[in-house]
Amino acid sequence: MDAFDVTPRLRLLRFPVGQAYLWRDDDGLTLIDAGAPGAGRPIADAVRAWGHTPEDVRRIVLTHFHEDHVGGAAEFARLSGAEVYAHRLDAPFVRGEAQGPPPVYEDWERPLHAQALAQLPDPPPEPDLPSVVRELADGDTLGFGDGALVVGAPGHTDGSIGVHLSRHGVLFTGDAIAASPVDGQIVLGVFNLDRARAVASFARLAALESEVACFGHGDPLTENAGDMLRTAAAAYQPA
């Protein structure tokens, strides 16, 4: 796992597939997403390398239920004592009470998905899932980042969310938006459940005033993010 600072308060944790983020307030840390199974201890190491202890992490906010975002949540929650949060529509899948619906793949996405699966660790015979998940809804405010706003962004999954720190100009998009690993182009996230809703969520997130945008996959934007997201979102709108 690689880790580097995006801003003095924001650190990116990059896994073989996907990434997570640490946000630092004066009174503690917040983890946005938690990597694939087995990521809990590497995340704890990354927290220590940033000059903190795992117990400094107050909460884990999951942008959606897919394995590469929630796999390390239970392990890291045990190590840190952090509370786990997810949208109410994805929370049952995070807790393992039901199996989440698979994406509706476009033909060109199938080889990409196979490539991603090959890079993920083998799933444990008994998934390690958090038993307690605090449920979120669109418009909720969380106790970090001077009022983090939960922004419903369905389409990738029904319960996908973005998180907007308006006072800091920072937006976490989960997999609703991505940056291409080839050329950095800002694109609609892949492997969606409902593409039309995903396009609408892209536009909704892009409309927010943001200087920095942090994606579930791909390099973050560190300046003029709102303008760049709006330009990219416009390409998906009907002519």
Give Cα 96 to chain centroid, integer Å: 19
User: Could you list the pLDDT tens digit for every one of the 239 residues in the chain?
Assistant: 999 999 999 999 999 999 999 999 999 999 999 999 999 999 999 999 999 999 999 999 999 999 999 999 999 999 999 999 999 999 999 999 999 999 998 888 888 878 887 887 777 777 889 999 999 999 999 999 999 999 999 999 999 999 999 999 999 999 999 999 888 899 999 999 999 999 999 999 999 999 999 999 999 999 999 999 999 999 998 76
pLDDT digits (tens, 9 = 90+) for 75-128: 999 999 999 999 999 999 999 999 999 999 888 888 887 888 788 777 777 788
Q: What is the pTM of this model?
A: 0.95
**With 0-12 CB in 10 A as exposed, 13-18 as middle and 19+ as buried, what is 169?**
middle
Q: Do β-strands 83-87 and 57-61 pair in parallel, antiparallel, or remain unpaired?
A: parallel
DSSP, residue by residue, the chain: -EEEEEETTEEEEE-SS-EEEEEEETTEEEEE---STT-HHHHHHHHHHTT--GGGEEEEE-S---HHHHTTHHHHHHHH--EEEEETTTHHHHTTSSPPPPP---TTHHHHHHHHHHHSPPPPSS----S--EEE-TT-EESSTTTEEEEE-TTSSTT-EEEEETTTTEEEEETSEEE-TTT--EEEPSS-S-HHHHHHHHHHHHTS--SEEEESSSPPB-SSHHHHHHHHHHTTS--
